[in-house]
Structure 1
Amino acid sequence: MMLDGKRAVIYGGGGSIGGAVARAFAREGATVFLAGRTQEPLDRVAADIRAAGGRAETALVDALDERAVDAHADEIAAGGGIDVSLNVVAHGDVQGTPMAEMAVDDYLRPVETAVRTSFITWRAAARHMASDGGGTILVFGGDGDPMRGYSLGGLQTAFTALESMRRQLAMELGPQGVRVVTLRTGGVPESIPASFAGREAIERSITELTMLGRAATLEDVGNAAVFAASDWARTMTAATINVSCGALID
């Protein structure tokens, strides 16, 4: 198993991306700590993992609350350390409205949320990983070109901010053996709720931009995250893993 014995915390672990990564991590032997603000989706993911023979724990944690995040991270670390941290909480972005018609608060919300929650959760993990001599902080999203025919609001601005943070953090933590890696997907249609207005248009736009004629699946994201978190990727930091099917060109 690629992650046997590792301990991974996933903020937003009850969501589609977080749940997919959690299931993949557990399948490969990791103990998964699912954190989020709503118990029911966390319990569903945890139940799937346990039914498959994996190990999962849940906790109600607001990833925008630094005291709550620090306390939760301290508790996990006290039980055996933190090997992997991933933050995939929702950023509250407003999509489908052109920038020229948006309220400034709607545009800035995902930027402020992404920067704040990532800073808080990365810092909490980094402190323990650095003192333990290693670990992996995974970033999800990655910046890219604007989506043709659809308005993403502040989403890409948020991703670009995270990439800048990721580069700086990787440089600072490298000497302590901590790696920081981004998973870039170009969009995962499966993660878009069926009730989301414009879902078909977004899915079509994502797929049309790919070189392979198909978009990344949740399973693809989970498998890529397993590799990034494993010792097979021990030489990778300050880097991105592109699972966009060619929609994003490095």
Structure 2
Amino acid sequence: MPAASPTPTPGPSTSSFSLAGRSALVTGAGNGIGAAVAHAFARAGSAVLVTDVDKDAAAAVAAGIVTAGGRAGSAVLDVRDADAARAAAEQAADLGGGTLNIVVNNAGAIAPAMFDKMEPGQFERVVAIHLGGTFTVSQAALPFLPDDGTGRIINVTSAAGLVGTIGQVNYSAAKAGVLGVTKSLARELARRRITVNALAPLAATSMTANIRGNEKLAALTLARVPLGRWAEPAEIAASFVFFASDAASYITGQVLAVDGGTVM
């Protein structure tokens, strides 16, 4: 008789992507990718604190989530403000019954200029928001993150941080720094079963509006994108749900480029 086939090990089910019973804090979530991520998390079952420097924008996104049947709150947050970050982390944890499971460091800003014309203030502000904000919000959230394997920090980097870009030394430096934070923090927090990963997205958002609105720059950018188009924020959001879910429980310290093949 032929030998019996081994019983296959069951793979992840769709329930592995559920965020039911969890809570999340998303920065820069008043529009664009951050707003799409907040909505996607809520659809997956998570309570979400929508934060942004724009109070009305954050409140509108949270209201939209609630109208759709989800759980959400909003808060004004300048990610450079440590006191505001601590207050937001506590508010997000309150949505989850005292525990904050997921932190998304998405807030950002740009101030493009060629290097010889870039003012120190342009460099410092962009680095302070992207890199400093990632540090400040992550540190504020850390006391509320659980040790049960559901703790997630998801950082947003960029192709600019991976390969550089002309006219954005400040942005490239900040996003490269986010990669360093991601990898170091992944090693440090592994002992607490908290995963730390990063995504490098390319989407049609307000931060890419200056490129998309310039015919020459838009053509040059899309020429480097094998899929030949800009993603919509909702397409990007699904990757955040993956990193936040149990489906990614054994992934840490990694960077996922969600950019149509720009970086391979």
Common fold by TM > 0.5: yes
The answer as to 2:154 corresponding to 1:126 is no
Q: Output aligned runs, 1:74-93, within 5 Å.
A: 74-78=90-94, 79-91=97-109, 93=110
- Partners of 2:240 and 2:259 lie apart in 1 by 13
| Matched position secondary structure for 2:153 | strand
Match of 2:154 in 1: 138
**Which amino acid is the alignment partner of residue 213 of structure 2?**
R
TM-score, L = length of structure 1 = 0.88
- Aligned pair in 2 of structure 1 residues 5, 203: CA closer, same or farther (>3 Å)? farther
- Aligned pair in 2 of structure 1 residues 225, 203: CA closer, same or farther (>3 Å)? farther
Q: Please list every run of 5 or more consecutive structure 2 residues that lacks an aligned counterpart in the other structure.
A: 1-14
- Partners of 1:111 and 1:193 lie apart in 2 by 18
Moved over 4 A (4+): 130-134
Identity %: 28
The answer as to 2:21 corresponding to 1:5 is yes
TM-score, L = length of structure 2 = 0.84
Aligned residue pairs total 243
**Which amino acid is the alignment partner of residue 144 of structure 1?**
L
| Matched position secondary structure for 1:248 | coil
- Partners of 1:242 and 1:197 lie apart in 2 by 19
The answer as to 2:133 corresponding to 1:117 is yes
**Which amino acid is the alignment partner of residue 219 of structure 2?**
R
Is this contact kept in 2: 1:126–1:178, CA < 8 A? no
By how many angstroms is 1:131 displaced? 5.3
Match of 2:167 in 1: 151
Q: CA RMSD in A?
A: 2.1
Q: Please list every run of 5 or more consecutive structure 1 residues that lacks an aligned counterpart in the other structure.
A: none
Of residues 113-122 and 173-182 in structure 1, the stretch that sits farther from structure 2 once superposed is 113-122
The answer as to 2:83 corresponding to 1:67 is yes
| Matched position secondary structure for 1:189 | coil
Match of 1:227 in 2: 242
By how many angstroms is 1:111 displaced? 1.5
